Amino acid sequence: MNQGSKIIFCEYVDSQSKPINAKKTFELGPAGVNVKFLSPVASQATSKILYEIHKVNQDSSEEYEDAIFTNVNPMRDFHSCEFTFYKSGRFKVRIYDSKKKNLLNSGTIQIINSPF
């Protein structure tokens, strides 16, 4: 995985750390939608990382949604975690070191209502 790449949003990460059904738009079901985040992380940079999720409003302002702390596996050059979205909209995901001093990566995802 390229260190300059953005976050990959997908439905699943297989045993070879490959994203399955990677996309930027997901459909919201009755129980929400579970999305995996896959991102390159320099393991020497930090032992924990913080995923911060913000909803992006129509005027491009952002509202805090949630945050997730996860441990970094020093044997891998990527990291993955999962999050369940319960409402539609555009969301910005930012990854920081554990002290939130360095932005490590970011990406945008769209959650749409299911047509059913």
Q: What percent of the chain has pLDDT over 90?
A: 58
The CATH class for the domain spanning 8-113 reads: mainly beta
Of 36, 11, 33, 35, the C-alpha closest to 87 is 33
The predicted-structure confidence for 20-71, as pLDDT tens digits, reads as follows 999 999 999 999 999 999 988 665 567 888 999 999 999 999 999 999 998 8
Domain extent listing, the chain: 8-113
Predicted pLDDT at 1: 40
Q: Are 42 and 74 in contact (CB under 8 A)?
A: no
Quick one: 68 exposed, middle or buried, by C-beta within 10 A (0-12, 13-18, 19+)? middle
